Amino acid sequence: MVSIRADNLGLTYKVRQKLTLAPRDRRMPTGGRIEGMGRARHVTALEGVSFSLEAGDRLGLVGANGAGKTTLLKVLYGIYEPTSGTVAIDGRVDALFNITLGFRPEATGRRNIELRGLINGWSPDEIGARMDAIIEFSELGDFIDLPFKSYSQGMGARLAFSIATSFEPEILLMDEWIGAGDPSFQEKARERMAKLAEKAGIIVLASHNHGLLRKTCNKILELQEARLKAFCGAEEWFDKQADTAPTTPVRASR
């Protein structure tokens, strides 16, 4: 059974660079909370995050920039190892964080399909069997045989999504990918996402687009300054947002 379970998940790391406004300090990771003083200074990127997901769940990650959404996705994908708590994942995982991940700018779109497939552990026969379907879904046409570096962001996103979902991953992690591309492709992608969920998959999508999350997700996890603020059903979360939204005062008529 496909599932994700996080218990009291935390991630901290030391600040190794002096905090200034100099350009060199922009290389530091952003997000979370900077705590401590002097050499003991550290960043708390996640703290006490607990939740569980089962087959068919579509989780929307919400929160301000720097709240920890992307960090949580990378912990779930195994890029970062948590410094406290545990995370248990049962199922094959694929992710869309950076559309250029595993892609070579000089290689064609077709060659990058092969390279991305090999990175994902697919056999050459598996890649070949799905090549035409990936190209057709991406809508790249003859551009598939041009270098990846000539693609627009939307074209790259379409190719990355087409590859990532061609094997129907049991768990798909995404970070704001759907903002790229034309509306028709976005709708087609949402339909594929829905089919993935129907086939006992789990989707975790970090986004600021509440309209997209309302259409796509059945659960919401809200982070605030690296901590879990809310984890509940999507309808419940959006209802609370509507109840707490400021109202526009009615001007008295003259």
Q: Are 171 and 160 in contact (CB under 8 A)?
A: no
pLDDT at position 27 over 50: no
Residue 69, pLDDT > 60, answer: yes
Span 95-141, pLDDT tens digits: 877 666 778 999 999 999 999 888 878 899 999 999 999 999 999 99
Q: Residue 68: is its pLDDT beyond 90?
A: yes
User: Cβ(145)–Cβ(110) under 8 Å?
Assistant: yes
Q: What is the mean pLDDT of residues 22-41?
A: 54
Tokens of 194: 């829905």
Query: Which pLDDT does position 185 carry in this prediction?
Result: 86
Superfamily per CATH, domain 55-81+91-242: P-loop containing nucleotide triphosphate hydrolases (3.40.50.300)
Q: For residue 220, what pLDDT band results from cuts at 50, 70 and 90? A: very high
- Residue 31's pLDDT is 61
Annotated domain spans of the chain: 55-81+91-242
Give pTM, 2 decimals: 0.77
The whole-chain average pLDDT of the chain stands at 84
